[in-house]
Structure 1
Amino acid sequence: MERIPTWVIPISLLLLLIYSANAEEDDVKVSLVSFLRKLSSNNSQIDLDLRWDASTDPCLNGWVGVDCRGTNSVRKIILEGRGLNGSIDAGLLCKAESLAVVSLRDNELHGRLPPEISNCTELTHLYLGSNRLSGSLPSSLSLLSNLKRLNISYNNFSWGLPQDLPRVSGLKTMLAQNNSFDGSIPQFDFSNLQDFNVSYNRLSGPVPEGAHHLSLESLMGNSGLCGEPLPKACPPPPAPSPSQGGKTKKFSAEKVIMVSGYIALGLVVLLFFAYKFVYRRMADAKKGGYEKKVADSSAKSSSGNKNTPSRSEYSLPTSNESAAAVSSSLVVLVNPTTKELKFEDLLKAPAELLGRGRFGSLYKVMLDDTTALAVKRIKDWAISPEDFRKRMERIDRVKHPNVLSAVAFYCSKQEKLVVYEYQKKGSLFKLLRGSQNDQAFDWDSRLNVAGGIADGLAFMHQGLREDGIGHGNLKSSNILIKTNMDPCISEYGLMTINNCQTSPTPSDNTQVSILKDDIYNLGIILLELLTGKVAQNNGSELAQWVNSVVREEWTVEVFDRTLLSDGASEEQMVQLLQVALKCTNPSPDARPSMNQVAAMIDAIKEEDERSIYSEA
């Protein structure tokens, strides 16, 4: 028997490992092949034409209509106009967990869209137009938090559009024309929708608020719809008809007697509760007097005792002044989570120190088993309580989905606290550090984060321009990541020009200087997203290094290697790099406005979304 050379075994193992690292899982391949067979009604000829075979790999052996976009998992499935006349099995489809784009339009598919479509959690584009799909849309569509484009036009869908579909905050396209939908139009964020069409259905009721700018063509063909921009005005609410005849008068008299009885019963209940309330207040007053006496006697007996127990180290530290404050000192803004929040609740709740910086400390406070808050304790800010209150209330009136709103705040001469809802997925800073340890953070996610930050800052800068309120301390640790991977800017407006200046060359105009600082700091964040490196101090060293590499015409060397290995578009990364370099220009006056930055990043995102769909 011929002996196998010793070098053959390690090379074979190495090749096996390389193949395994680049191959889609076997159970995913089997599921996708079964998915295609249901789409084609077991038409074996279609299987042969598309070369979908469980014994091969979709990423390595070129399944027709499948693209892995430089990764080892299926990213896109585009099977348009293939004569498919079967049904959609979303349970099989969504076994491919990295799936972002699905286009099955221009076929003859029938049946329903299964609720299991929500298992495709990475889905951004879903095109099902021009088929024969029917039944109601599953409410689980609203769970696709990454969905941006939805096309279900020219089908036979019926019943109503899911009213919770507007929960998908990033939805930009909603095409549902030429179906049989009835009911009302959901209250979408029409300012965010770029393409919207529900024409030629059976919808009724008034056109929602915010949709008046839509074109007539996007709403026509729904005889029950009314209000702008449609020519049909909504009728006024029906007025009560006057009483006519003895029978009507008799009915009215009976109704008056019945209502009077309800009123009398209500007064009795109200008096009862008023009596209980007064009785309880009197009892509490007596109890309070007794406890005060006990406390006074205890204080006398313990005076001079140096071992008196101190406040728990696991609760929020406060000054003596704030600890003695009454609950009304905490200003609770409009928020359903904390509408009953009181100052004492914060003082008594367990607190965990999350971080400490130049401008204060951040704590996680647990009010109960389900409600977590983040409390920012600010130090060394010479601002009066009245000015602080006006500032926080002014910021609260300008809201954007990518800016974390405060739920409450407190301010005295010695203590300033701002309360937010706790975001459990952490910050961009931690995500960037995790990506260096092979945690997934791909190009699409980074570009989405960049666009969200720019959109949020542009909105806040515009809304607060007259007040000259910017962020003032923008950095990756202040960019929180929501559960759908959208960015959320925290601690907006907690710094002023007097206590922060981060860019290397401050502007002479103090009113715009903090806004120019925000643009510089956004540029540093963009460099962090592109390079995968975490900036130190004000990020000037990172900016200098990137500029030096670009000057040497080795631009590709600055990019995070994980992005390059995943097949991210170098052209789009270079475009975003150019935006970052403009933002970090040493001269504040040479930097673009935040609106211009947001527009440039949105243009890159649009190009990226087109490439996701077109590359197949």
Structure 2
Amino acid sequence: MSLNLIWFWTVFTFLFLFLLMTNSESENVRKVLVTFMHKLEPPHQNSISGWNLTSDPCTHNWQGVTCYTSNQYIKSIVLENLNFTGVLDATSLCIANNLQFLSLNNNYLHGFISKDIKNCKSLTHLLLSGNEFSGNLPLSIPQLRNLKRLHVSNNHFTGNLPNMVNVTSLISFLAQNNNFTGQIPDFDFSNFEAFNVSNNNLRGSVPDVEGFFSADSFYGNPNLCGKPISNSSCPSPPPRPPPPIVKKDKSKNAFIDDLLIYSGYIALGLIFIIFLIFKLVKKLKTKDKEKVLNHGEKKDMSQDISFVGGGEKLSEILNSNGSKSWFNGLGIKSEYSMTSMESGVTTSGLVLLSSRKLRGLQFEDLLSAPAELIRRGKHGSLYKVMLDYGVLLAVKRIKDWGISKHDFERRMNLIAQVKHPLVMSPVAYYCSQQEKLLAYEYLPNGSLFMLLYGSQSGHSLDWRSRLDVAVKIAEAMAYMHEELGESGIAHGNLKSSNILFDKKMNPQISEYGLMVAENRGVISHRKSLGNRNMSAAATFRGDIYAYGVILLELLTGKVVKNDGFDLVKWVNSVISEEWTAEVFDRCLNSQGASEERMVNLLQVALKCINPSPNDKLSMSQVALIINALKDEDDKSISFET
């Protein structure tokens, strides 16, 4: 046999075996992925399109699967809000070792995370928030050296946080609302866009966050100390007992030696006793003040009060930020006390609009609760407040409102009565000549602004999620406009930072009806009915314009920021140059979103921001059009699969 013939058969055999192995591997990946899906336990297996051995995940568009451009390997798996009740089979999943993006957010998955997750070596996004996972996070997670985002919030995880110090690509770590214990690893916070470990059982000193994150990222861990949380100083370690002294005459110096040995413990005991006495005296003073209140003794709240101790209470923070002190200890000014026992009104002037969780709450309880400043804005400040029984509230302090107490109360009661599941109505309010406070349920999952701006052009929101957000906001706003149209109460300040997300990542519209109160106060004094209707109509048109801007943010991945960037102007300039496709967020194109449907949604946004009031759609019309677009998108996906 010639040398050339031997070489030919060698090459042929090698190519044949290589092709055989390639086909076998591809079939093996399909098998393990079907196993992975089976263990997720979807409520209706037939409702999950694809995911079977008779089709290809890339060429047949399995639901939630995106492949690389070459259509040979799976790039991402996004299976969110599908009511899965099973477990995460990482052993099977990681056979698809080119997988970069995995999101199983907001299902009902349980059990442990297998150490085999380390075999998904290409993973950049591991998003498991909003499930019922438990146990420790595997020690192998730090071996995912390409990981950028690790989100495990709102689960039942225990044990220590993973030490991701050596994962230099990590830019987002969300682990709030779990049962993690131990200390916080020394992350490189300068590299992070998002970080949150609030509401766990962590202890010890908070690492140096270098000013990148506030106390909000660490809230709800009573055993944490150090900056930036309110418990800024960590206790000193107990003094070590002095070493035993070599005694020449033990009988003579025994008492002195024992005293030296136990002096540290004695000092600690004295400190503890002093602390108990201080707490007892403070409690007795509080009871005395409550007795004074119950007997109707008047308190002067107009005098300036200086608070000492770091401003932990809401009252202290309010006084430190206000020009005038209006709260004196736990006393309530007599003009705020009420003798009538009206439904929902406490004896201290706090009006409870939702009594299910706040039953029995008094104004002094709210002011005495631990609080921290979340943000300060043009129209007021927002505070996070924790009540004694663990309920978290977001308290809005409003300033510069030209509205009477009567009009304010009427407005708040109207908004509370017109309920929509996606519109946050106040749960309580307080109104006096000097102060107006509104309390809402606190939502920990951030805003649409942060999802888009803080997640690199919204990579955590795919096309269907964005379209779903657009539909829900439109429907909720249309409902509110219809119900409150005659009262002239629009939102007045609709923007992506006022679209919050609940535990299941449903959008919630916050601060409805606040920023137009001053205008309505002026309007109520006008005699002309026509002028009143025109002004009220303008506020509703403003909502429609603002909704159009939100649509542009969802489509472009860009957000309106306070740095001079004009999103509307930029979109119009790109469209005028006939480069419409350049408007859309690139990650939407990479996820396979239909350009035709994105263009249709863009046309709706342009109609909303049209400066001509005669050509502008109503919110109800916008909701109908957006719903039709979503139905078309759903049908198209069903047809393609």
Relative to the length of structure 2, the TM-score reads: 0.52
**8 Å contact 2:457–2:558 — kept in the other structure?**
no
Change (3 A) 1:28 1:332: farther
Is residue 59–residue 74 contact of structure 1 (8 Å, CA) maintained in 2? Answer: no
Query: Would the aligned equivalents of 1:73 and 1:98 in 2 still touch at CA under 8 Å?
Result: yes
Following superposition, the deviation at residue 313 of structure 1 comes to 1.7
Query: For residues 67-216 of structure 1, what are the structure 2 equivalents within 5 Å?
Result: 68-69=65-66, 72-74=75-77, 91=87, 118-119=108-109
8 Å CA contact 2:348–2:364 kept in 1: the answer is no
Distance 1:452 1:74 in 2: 24
| 2:325 aligned with 1:320 | yes
Shift of 1:345: 1.6
Find the residue that maps to 2:566 and give its secondary structure.
helix
Question: Paired residue for 1:573?
Answer: 598
| Distance in 2 between residues matched to 1:473 and 1:423, nearest whole Å | 19
In 1, the alpha carbon distance for the partners of 2:401 and 2:381 equals 13
> How does 1:474-485 map onto structure 2 within 5 Å?
474-485=494-505
Which of 438, 454, 461 is the matching residue for 1:418?
Answer: 438
CA separation of 1:521 and 1:350: change in aligned 2, threshold 3 A: same
How far the C-alpha of 1:350 sits from its partner, in A, is 1.2
Task: Give the distance between the partners of 1:37 and 1:349, measured in 2 at CA.
Answer: 45
Q: 1 CA distance for matches of 2:370 and 2:309?
A: 11
- The 3-state SS of whatever aligns with 1:588 is coil
Distance 2:377 2:85 in 1: 52
C-alpha separation in 1, matches of 2:359 and 2:290: 32
* 1-structure distance, mates of 2:376, 2:27: 44
Aligned-pair CA distance for 1:445: 1.0
Q: Contact 2:419 / 2:425 at 8 angstroms: preserved in 1?
A: yes
Q: Secondary structure at the match of 2:592?
A: coil
By how many angstroms is 1:495 displaced?
Answer: 1.6
CA distance in 1, matches of 2:61, 2:357: 49
From 360, 373, 394, the equivalent of 1:353 is 373
Q: CA deviation at 1:117?
A: 8.6
CA distance in 2, matches of 1:378, 1:442: 36
SS at match of 1:417: strand
Is residue 423–residue 480 contact of structure 1 (8 Å, CA) maintained in 2? Answer: yes
Q: 1:609 to 1:312 in 2, by over 3 A?
A: same
**Residue in structure 2 matching 1:398, options 418, 423, 434:** 418
Kept in 1: contact 2:498–2:511 (CA 8 A): yes
Separation in 2, partners of 1:379, 1:471: 17
Residue of structure 2 in register with 1:583 after alignment: 608
Whether the 8 Å CA contact 1:432–1:533 is kept in 2: the answer is: yes
Deviation at 1:351, TM superposition (A): 1.1
Please give the alpha-carbon distance, in whole angstroms, between the structure 1 residues aligned to 2:463 and 2:27: 23
Structure 1 length normalisation: TM-score? Answer: 0.54
Instruction: State the match for 1:240 in structure 2.
Output: none
Within 2, Cα distance between the matches of 1:348 and 1:599? 47
Please say if residues 359 and 378 of structure 1, whose CA atoms lie closer than 8 Å, have aligned partners that are also in contact. Answer: yes
Most deviating of 316-325 and 517-526: 316-325
> Residue deviations 1:282-302, cap 9 Å, x none?
xx99x849997xxxxxx9xxx
Whether the 8 Å CA contact 1:90–1:117 is kept in 2: the answer is no
| Deviations, residues 296-338 of structure 1 (Å, cap 9, x unaligned) | xxx9xxxx9x996447523221553455344531100124121
Post-superposition shift, 1:89?
Answer: 11
Partner of 2:362: 342
Whole-angstrom CA distance in 2 between matches of 1:313 and 1:400: 36
Q: Is the 8 A contact 1:448 1:486 kept in 2?
A: no
Separation (CA, whole Å) in 2 of partners of 1:330 and 1:38: 47
TM-superposed deviation, 1:50: 3.7
CA RMSD of aligned residues (A): 4.4
Unaligned runs of 5+ in 2: 1-24, 42-49, 69-74, 94-100, 112-129, 133-283, 293-298, 338-346, 521-530
Deviation of 1:545 (Å)? 1.1
Q: Does structure 1 retain, via aligned residues, the 8 Å contact 2:557–2:584?
A: yes
Is residue 354–residue 363 contact of structure 1 (8 Å, CA) maintained in 2? yes
Which residue number in structure 1 is paired with residue 398 of structure 2?
378
Contact kept in structure 2, 1:585 and 1:591, CA below 8 Å: yes
1:436 aligned residue: 456
Summarize the alignment of residues 168-567 of structure 1 with structure 2, pairs less than 5 Å apart.
288=288, 309-310=307-308, 312-316=310-314, 317-318=318-319, 320-321=325-326, 324-325=332-333, 326=337, 327-368=347-388, 370-436=390-456, 439-496=459-516, 498=518, 509-536=534-561, 541-567=566-592
Q: Distance in 1 between matches of 2:549 and 2:391?
A: 34
CA distance in 1, matches of 2:608, 2:36: 50
Instruction: Indicate the SS of the match to 1:328.
Output: coil
2:34 is matched with 32
Q: Deviations over 1:67-90 (max 9, x none)?
A: 7255723569xxxxxxxxxxx995
**Residues 550, 398 of structure 1: CA spacing in aligned structure 2 closer, same or farther, 3 A cutoff?**
same
Deviation at 1:614, TM superposition (A): 2.2
Task: Judge which range, 600-609 or 435-444, deviates more.
Answer: 435-444
Alignment correspondent of 1:244? none
1:528-547 CA distance string (max 9 Å, x none) = 11111111359982111111
- In the TM superposition, residue 36 of structure 1 has moved relative to its aligned partner by 7.4
Deviation at 1:497, TM superposition (A): 6.7
Q: CA deviation at 1:389?
A: 0.6
What is the aligned partner in structure 1 of residue 267 from structure 2?
none
State percent identity of aligned pairs.
47
Q: Is the 8 A contact 1:321 1:414 kept in 2?
A: yes
Deviation at 1:24, TM superposition (A): 11
1:37 to 1:522, Cα distance in 2 relative to 1, 3 A: closer
The secondary structure found in structure 2 opposite 1:609 is helix
SS at 1:599's partner residue? helix
Structure 2 CA distance for aligned equivalents of residues 37 and 328 of structure 1 = 55
Distance 1:435 1:394 in 2: 37
Unpaired segments ≥5 residues, structure 1:
1-22, 40-46, 53-57, 77-87, 101-115, 122-142, 146-283, 293-298, 501-505
Q: CA separation in 1, counterparts of 2:27 and 2:435?
A: 56
Secondary structure of 2:578's partner? coil
